[in-house]
Amino acid sequence: MRAPGLFSDGYVEADGFRIRYLEAGDGAPLVHLHGAGGPRLTPAHDLLSRHFRVVLFEMPGFGQSPENLRTTSMPELASTMAQAIGNLGLDTFNLMGTSFGGKTALWLALQAPERVRALVLEAPAAIRQEGAASPAGSPEEIALRLYAHPERLGAILLPDAATRAKTQPLVQRLRGPDRDADLEGRLSGLATPTLVLFGTLDRVIAPAMGRIYKETMPNCHLVFVYDAAHAISTDRPEAFADVVADFLDRHEAFVISRTPTVIHP
Amino acid sequence: MKVSFFETVRYRAPQALPSEWPVPSGAYDRDAGAEAYRGMIERLEYVEELGFDWVSVSEHHYSPRILSPAPMLSAAFIAARLKKITIALLGPIVPQSNPVRVAEELAMLDTLAQGRLVVGLLRGTTNEYLTYDLNPAEARERTDEGMELILKAWTEPQPFGWQGRHFQYRTVSIWPRPLQQPHPPTYALGTSREAGEFAARHHLGYGVSYGPFEVMAKATRYYREQCARYGWEPAPEQIVYRANMVLAETDDEAHATLRAQPNQAPFAMRAGVRDAFMKLDARNIAGEARAPIVSGALPTTFVGSPDTIVEQVRRCRDVVGAGVIDLSLHPPGSAELEPLMRSLELFGKKVLPRIRGM
């Protein structure tokens, strides 16, 4: 029994890496692949762990893990993570990817479509506006750009300089071009039920990128989260977790409202 | 300077009506109502002939004062009857509406009117909170979110869901889309810091109403500052100023007409409700708190002879920065049509040609 909201960590071996994960909750498995800043628990994880067995991985080279000089491409990272998930005993699962991890999740789903029940992409970085400048400024400024409501975060957690120095070359190596023709070409054949979410105030990736997933993928749904920036699940965790849980529960039938409107019986 | 005629659909009551808002529906006279709408079209044909650029309509409920609870219907009817004039829908009361429905109706209207539509979006006057049970504490947030959703519904080509604070939709994909692209010229209306910031962020126009030039200038200055912060500069016609005008052959006559008007709020509520709203309805001018307008007549900022009015319009342009004036030419509080038609004629012949080139 894994209590919701109480995340405990563990390790799993995969592909020669020792990979840390955080886990809470019971129910259908929901695997989360983090963004370029590394794994970070948000209130949305707590909310989702009331419905799902939430497993947040620390991908090799991120967070507390040692520097990863070995992984050379996003498909390779996806393959490593697919093994890690399998070694936890999860044959089929829901898969959520945030920003950078959204691209990892897409590659994983392309490699093992039969294992992924549904995909959730939070502000995915797999398709980016061409020619847009990379985030510039101090680490604090770059971090602040992620949020519309930093007050909900308490303090902004900045990865320390050593972690940034360790992670940045890996991110640069794996993120790929703004428009990845190989990936986009494959997406048209990916029938996995997919939910793409963008905050209306995203200043890292233009929310208009969302429509390209919708246009490309045969079973894709686009939702704008009002008044959220790139870090949707921190800015508006309740709104985020609500629509994600509903989508994972009902897939495309999530468009049918179940909200009662009776005022008094 | 562009000039807009604010069509208030005046209803001439056959007998005196209670002044308190909401006005009892049972006091409505059907013949007077039919006459009000017939008169509207006759009047607007003349307005178009005089060369006004826009005719504007607005949304008000439960009152004979402005007989237009469904401004989309007014606008569609006018668009069908008049061939040239631009219809300015200023505007749907966003917080009490279904924003997707508003986006659909405006897109349809723009298409029906062959692109002759201008849109203003607003929070609405204080009394309107009562119309459909809107919580004043939520009105600002619902307005901002609703406006954002309307813009998204107009411009997003793929079906999308909306996970809002006050509105939730799992799939939105409107048909028709607006004829004008990306959408009709749109204004955020109101003096508040929030309206100015929203307009600037979305590259929209901005509109203020009734207040003295210097006071409204605080709001338009704030809007311009915000536009600069977002890296753009509004064109003159992106600032609208709506006002009462009392025009006569001489200054003395105009002032006498104004003095004869009752000093009564357009939608006067009973004291207990009015006082409660003084506490509950938070309004501001560019961030500076102001009381909600719940008592006393609205100011009349254009008063005088044609010569005087021309100078006042020039001051309005210089002080407020307005490139469009939206005018109510009725003596405020009067439903009589005769004085309206006189000032309309005078305005069309002796004022309009002289302010056109400003």
Supply the ipTM of this predicted assembly.
0.93
Kindly state the percentage of chain B with pLDDT values over 90. Answer: 92
With a cut of 90, say whether residue B45 has pLDDT above it: yes
- Decide: B123 and B167 in contact? Cβ < 8 Å: no
Mean pLDDT of A13-30: 97
On chain B, the residues whose CB falls within 8 A of the CB of A225 are: 163
The DSSP annotation for B320-350 comes to H--SEEEEE-SPTT---HHHHHHHHHHIIII
Q: Name the residue among A210, A226, A257 with its Cβ closest to that of B170.
A: A257
Q: What is the pLDDT of residues B301-349, one digit of tens each?
A: 999 999 999 999 999 999 999 999 999 998 777 778 888 999 999 999 9
Structure tokens at B15: 């007998």
Q: What is the pLDDT of residues A225-258, one digit of tens each?
A: 999 999 999 999 999 999 999 999 999 999 999 9
- Decide: B309 and B238 in contact? Cβ < 8 Å: no
Q: Which pTM was predicted?
A: 0.95
With a cut of 90, say whether residue B82 has pLDDT above it: yes
Q: What is the pLDDT of residues B229-286, one digit of tens each?
A: 999 999 999 999 999 999 999 999 999 999 998 888 889 999 999 999 999 999 999 9
Confidence of residue A1 (pLDDT cuts 50, 70, 90): low
On chain A, the residues whose CB falls within 8 A of the CB of B161 are: 221-224, 243, 255
Mean pLDDT of B220-224: 98
Confidence of residue B91 (pLDDT cuts 50, 70, 90): confident
DSSP state of B351: I
The mean-pLDDT minimum among B12-21, B170-179, B203-212 falls in B12-21
Q: Best of A223, A240, A252, A254 to disrupt the B interface by mutation (most B CBs within 10 Å)?
A: A223
Predicted pLDDT of residue B85: 98
| Greatest mean pLDDT among A152-161, B87-96, B264-273 | B87-96
CA B158 – CA B172 distance, rounded (Å): 8
Q: What is the pLDDT of residues A28-75, one digit of tens each?
A: 999 999 999 999 999 999 999 999 999 999 999 999 999 999 999 999
With a cut of 70, say whether residue A78 has pLDDT above it: yes
The mean-pLDDT minimum among B16-20, B50-54, B154-158, B291-295 falls in B291-295
CATH of B2-355, one of 2.40.30.10, 3.50.50.60, 3.20.20.30, 3.40.1380.10: 3.20.20.30
Q: Name the residue among A211, A239, A255 with its Cβ closest to that of B163.
A: A239
Q: What residues does each domain of chain B span?
A: 2-355
CA B346 – CA B358 distance, rounded (Å): 19
Helix B136-155 to helix B271-280 angle (10° resolution) is: 70
Domains of chain A as residue ranges with CATH: 8-251 (3.40.50.1820)
On chain B, the residues whose CB falls within 8 A of the CB of A227 are: 145, 164-165
CA A145 – CA B302 distance, rounded (Å): 47
CA A93 – CA A107 distance, rounded (Å): 15
Which residue of B lies nearest to A259 if distances are taken between CA atoms? B168
- Decide: A39 and A56 in contact? Cβ < 8 Å: yes
CA A116 – CA A32 distance, rounded (Å): 12
- Please name every residue paired with A31 in a beta bridge, in sequence order, or none if there are none: A55, A95
Predicted pLDDT of residue B155: 98
CA B33 – CA B43 distance, rounded (Å): 15
Q: How far is A71 from chain B (nearest CA, A)?
A: 36
Confidence of residue A131 (pLDDT cuts 50, 70, 90): confident
CA A130 – CA A128 distance, rounded (Å): 6
- Decide: A56 and A35 in contact? Cβ < 8 Å: no
On average, the pLDDT of chain A sits at 94
Which phi and psi angles does B227 have, rounded to 5°?
A: -60, -45
Say if the Cβ atoms of B163 and A225 lie within 8 Å.
Answer: yes
CA A216 – CA A214 distance, rounded (Å): 6
CA B257 – CA B14 distance, rounded (Å): 22
Mean pLDDT of A152-157: 76
